[in-house]
Chain A
């Protein structure tokens, strides 16, 4: 009996081994373990055996069944894994193909620099304010101590619409507006940025360009001084233009400040050694700045005996060109998509 069981078991195991798919395996399973399966038949025949034989033979059959079942299970797993692998194989893609995207947008380089400047000054407690681009003579000149007849007001330098209305030539126009609008005459700490216009157009001057203007006014006791202006501009230059740059304050003349300075920065092209950009001087003129002229304070409602402060301004276009290595100013305004789309990532 034992041999018979062993024989069935061995035969079945052999068959299971040879099986090539799940369907055949199922057939063998039925043939061996099904209701009419060979091992089932042996079990069924137990009742014909002697009482004392039954447990022994039963145990043999169960042992054989267990072996077969275990092997079937193992083979089943093998087939399932195989099938799955086959399926995965079929689903394989070329992962080197490009991803699906929207077109990628970009921020204009000038506005990138403008946003950096805003962030810097906001972090120092400045408010960002705006003003009209279509200005009046009063705010663009008169209230900034540039009286009628002053050379800076020449028709040939400004875009006038009428005798009184013009496109602002400088963001300084906002200074007067802010001072005048502040009815309580409290301290002021502002910057303003935006488009400005001058009647010139050549390789290095665009008739439309961008400026930043800063104004700090406080009580005389607080004492906002030239040293404070120096410190402020040092931070501005080193954060916005370059960390290792030196500044040179060169006395100059503007009607709205006294004393007035032009601020040179170490030539960013040659590092101060002298090159064609800095005309061999090692310096590049970057900012105009100074202590607010008492007439400007007076004209806009601040008592120059009680208040004082500083103002500064600079063109943004050249700084943006320097930061990104833009070789021709015209790129900033022709808006070639091949230019614009280069500014599509974080700085």
Chain B
């Protein structure tokens, strides 16, 4: 809503030279934010002048050399406007004038001196869309009575300010000058004037000439009056200028009056050409696919959700949104049927979202005060009589199912102070309601507040608390902290600990979008689920919720690769989404991607391989307490995006919680490794308590064992074999060497293990260890493995 301060002054006494910025700031403090607060015409150093001589420029086919009398002096000005001619009064921008686009300087145009500029209205800041054809194409021609040397902005009554407010959804009452006047009046404690509705009425009662039928519950109030003998012409300046200041294009006096009243009182009106409409109006819901040509000439196809005004048969208007073309007020219109109605706000919003958002629909959507509807139709009659010569027929065609009663709310003074945490006195509270022009009765401990019907946003006690807070000023309330029983705040730190662990392991944390392309949702997984697709995505590239985060991290890798970032080690903790049957679900997951160099060490050239990312995974699982409970197993189902020889499932307590492996070379030729664990699943697994184990006071015995085995025997299998045979005294076993190649058969590998034996209660004897080792070796050899000596 753009507020014209001149318009506002009709209803409230404001300082002649009001500081528009201050007004906007004061409104902001009571909850009405603004976007801009500017003079309607920001141009400076303008003066009314008369062209006393006008000759063609000797070196140009379109420029004129003008001598312009501005009272104090006569200026030589070169002007290119086609309508520049001797004898007209014009707007002169003097040297030094600041116009929206330029600053005027002393100039020389093709050899001729020019000391100023003759201005078109759009050059001083009036948008072209508001101007007549003549004003769009040439300089502004002022009337003959324009006083030379005076301020043209004042003369044209364009000395106005426009504040563009961004109002909250509940304050539909502020979509009117009158509503704004009540709000400003509450801030500055000023009286608000009532609109002038006086007009005369002649002829036959409109009810005898007109039939109204309402066939839908979505129209609660419908009023109509008749204006005859209207003369269509240009509106007076004040109406035009106020429309322009409010962002509405002037058309003619009758159409302008409907818009003017809407701005003034917040009630949208519609004027029908009575002769084209006929003597019947029927309001109903539209039929499926019913056609209507709206005012803007567009063919609209309606649905059963739209409210239409009909002439009894055909639609003549789309309720709350736009009128129809067939009954439009035109140059030859003489009789006007004035409509003022209230339509269902939700229905209007749906229709306007579909068809067109307009100043009218915006007001219907926010809800209207029926008292204003009655006021608006009378105000329109008043203005039509005064500015269009209309003769108003007596009576009003009326359909009214509204309950237009002022709400009474009783509120204890203490309640207000309890909610606000304030100590506002009874007197100040009552004063606030008085400033708001709410009727109020003091009942000792409480106040009985009668809320005017214009404030449809107020219905409960808490709404009144807000009003007191607003007008009294939140700034006047001292902040403090709640006095509540002490307690310790609780938070599950696991996710944070995982984040910091992975950071410590050298990975960069990322945050990626959960929305991906539906073609990507089944990549990197064999799990069965139903993908979740958006009903209305912004782009097809992000139309589906991801299931695995590997897709997201792989995209981030590609982004970095394209920018020549080669060492990419990333992780993310985030969510994957799915549907199985009727169940919707989401899981917290941790995902890691690693490629390039991991160690920052001179001479170290080896790039990241499977065992680096496996190491990171093991570090994480050990850190979380799953030491000894996890294993890496061959996948039952291998997602086709993974390298079949370098991929493993991660099993914890014999349950698969994740996957780890290299991205298939046919997808990514660089060696890129990824890992993902379902944290919901993992963290659900039991972890033993961290508990001290007695340190053995007796010496350890170390034995090394090097064996030659078939390449495809997993090391883990050999380890388990050794452990089983070695028994309880084996404290620890580690692989410390892997060798393949020279001096070894092609299908073999050499693995070296380091075994540590100990007993917490005694010193071990060489013989018993040797016996154990012998039995281990015998057992291995039985399985076809060969001891290397």
Contacts and interface: CB of A to CB of B under 8 A. Distances in A.
Interface residues of A, number: 89
B598 A226 contact: no
Contact of A101 (B475, B534, B601): B601
A222 B482 CA distance: 8
Contacts of B568: 337
B543 to A, nearest CB: 10
A160 B538 CA distance: 12
Interface in A86-107: 97-98, 100-107
Interface in A13-49: none
A133 B489 CA distance: 23
Query: B422, B503, B533: which has the most chain A beta carbons within 10 Å?
Result: B503
Contacts of A341: 508
B500 interface: yes
A208 B509 CA distance: 17
A253 B421 contact: no
17 contacts: A98-B602, A105-B507, A106-B508, A107-B509, A127-B490, A161-B545, A199-B536, A199-B538, A216-B484, A230-B480, A253-B171, A258-B460, A259-B462, A334-B559, A336-B560, A338-B565, A340-B508
B533 to A, nearest CB: 7
Interface in A298-346: 308, 332-338, 340-341
Given A105-B502, A105-B508, A151-B349, A335 B559 contact: yes
Nearest to A106: B508
Contacts of A55: none
Q: Tell me the dominant secondary structure on chain A's binding face.
A: mixed
Contacts of A249: 474-475
Contacts of A262: 33
Interface of B: 25, 28-31, 33, 35, 168-171, 346, 349, 353, 365, 418-422, 457, 460, 462-463, 465-466, 469-470, 474-475, 477-484, 486-492, 496, 499-500, 502-515, 532-538, 542, 545, 556, 559-560, 563, 565, 567-570, 574-575, 577, 584-586, 597-602
Contact of B481 (A133, A207, A232, A335): A232
Given A103-B506, A133-B514, A334-B559, A98 B565 contact: no
B600 A102 contact: yes
B509 A125 contact: no
B462 A222 contact: no
Contacts of A66: none
A225 B505 CA distance: 46
Contacts, number: 263
Nearest to A130: B492
A90 B442 CA distance: 99
A228 B480 contact: yes
Given A207-B538, A250-B31, A228 B559 contact: no
A154 interface: yes
Given A102-B598, A223-B421, A259 B465 contact: yes
A151 B168 CA distance: 12
A205 B419 CA distance: 34
Given A125-B486, A207-B538, A227-B420, A102 B599 contact: yes
Contacts of B506: 102-105
A230 B170 contact: no
Nearest to A97: B602
A247 to B, nearest CB: 8
A204 interface: no
B413 to A, nearest CB: 14
A108 B510 contact: yes
Given A161-B532, A161-B545, A333-B513, A127 B466 contact: no
Contacts of A107: 499-500, 503, 509
A103 B567 contact: yes
Given A101-B601, A332-B511, A333-B511, 15 more contacts: A102-B599, A106-B503, A123-B489, A128-B490, A159-B515, A167-B514, A195-B514, A195-B574, A226-B419, A232-B479, A232-B481, A250-B31, A253-B31, A335-B510, A335-B511
Nearest to B483: A222
Nearest to B30: A251
Contacts of A291: 419, 462, 465
A200 B536 CA distance: 12
Contacts of B478: 227, 230
A218 B503 CA distance: 39
A160 B509 CA distance: 29
Interface string A154-171: 111001111001010000
A190 B301 CA distance: 50
Contacts of A347: none
Contact of B469 (A111, A187, A226, A253): A226
A5 to B, nearest CB: 58
Interface stretch (A74-82, A114-122, A172-180): A114-122
Contact of B575 (A133, A149, A333, A337): A133
Contact of B489 (A103, A126, A155, A281): A126
Contacts of B486: 125
Contacts of B28: 250
A260 B466 contact: yes
Query: What 7 A-B pairs are tightest by C-beta distance, nearest first?
Result: A227-B421, A225-B421, A251-B31, A259-B466, A230-B479, A122-B489, A253-B168
Contacts of B466: 251, 258-260
A222 B419 CA distance: 11
Nearest to B489: A122
Contacts of A125: 484, 486-489
B515 A207 contact: yes
A201 interface: yes
Contacts of B422: 225-227
A235 interface: yes
A206 B560 CA distance: 20
Contacts of B575: 133, 195
A275 B288 CA distance: 53
A105 B504 contact: yes
Nearest to A200: B538
Contacts of A121: 489
A201 B534 CA distance: 15
Query: B419, B504, B559: which has the most chain A beta carbons within 10 Å?
Result: B419
Contacts of A235: 481
A97 B515 CA distance: 45
Contacts of B503: 105-107
